[in-house]
Structure 1
Amino acid sequence: MAIVSRYTVALHILTWIALATGGKDEFVSSDRIANSVNTSPVFIRRILGKLNKGRLVKVQHGGTGAGWKLARQPKDITFLDVYEAVVDTPLFELHHSTPNDNCAIGKGIQPALSAFYSDTEKAMKQQLAKTTIADLLQESVTQSGWELQDLMTRLAGNKK
């Protein structure tokens, strides 16, 4: 799966957990999360594993109450935190094979692109650090046409 898609799914997961738990100290199942993302719980658990390693979620195994919860408040989880937890490679990569050193472009393109890529990724990370899961939750609910409190009440009634 593309980095961008995995990142987007991670943001979706964290935002949904924030909504579903409503700030309460409770765990939600990967089945419930997968229902929102419209994918398999196995795929969701893979991403949750990365988020757990990044200390953005906590897991509780076995029986009643098993599931996942946010490790921090939604206002304290930035898009950059999520990016760093789920993205394993740089935003831009150079050639997989070395370009022709006897060609003017082949010889100079990697050094030229390295500085540009580095500056671009730094700017992106600065932007990601400005937005939180709480911001995304509010904007997502606004875009859906729902009221946040209505959604939290509805989710509380649908807990399995």
Structure 2
Amino acid sequence: MSKSTKLFVTGLCLIASISFNEALECYHCSSETIGSEQFCGQVFREDKIPETLERYNLSVVRSCTSTSEHLIPTCRKIEEKRNGNIITKRFCFYTNKSDSIFCNEPHDGSREFCQDCFTNKCNSASQLIAQQLGFILIPLLIAKVTLI
């Protein structure tokens, strides 16, 4: 089996796991929320999440599932510029399986960066890592759409 065939098969296995509505775990936070700026900035700092969240049974991890066969749950990270500050948000997002380009919905123009990814807690990644993941996963997702 050639290297490209192995990569393609591996990608299809990843996509198949997404398609069967398994829960995808994503970080859910915003750097503009008081107290979250310590861990939810452009660089995610899991070691800076306050212990008080656990004490009150709160979590910055959400379980994302889709009940629609047409939607793919994704972990999203966006960075927006507001009043000279960069605001970072991480959350679950649901994208249509037929979309070939992710992060393409309309926005107000303040967006500096957007990343969709498909593995547990992947929206903690920095821009460089996120872009590298996107270059690998997006072609695989496009290939899946054309096979359906």
Decide: shared fold, TM above 0.5. no
TM-score by length of structure 2 reads 0.24
TM-score by length of structure 1 reads 0.23
Larger radius of gyration: 1
Higher helix residue share = 1
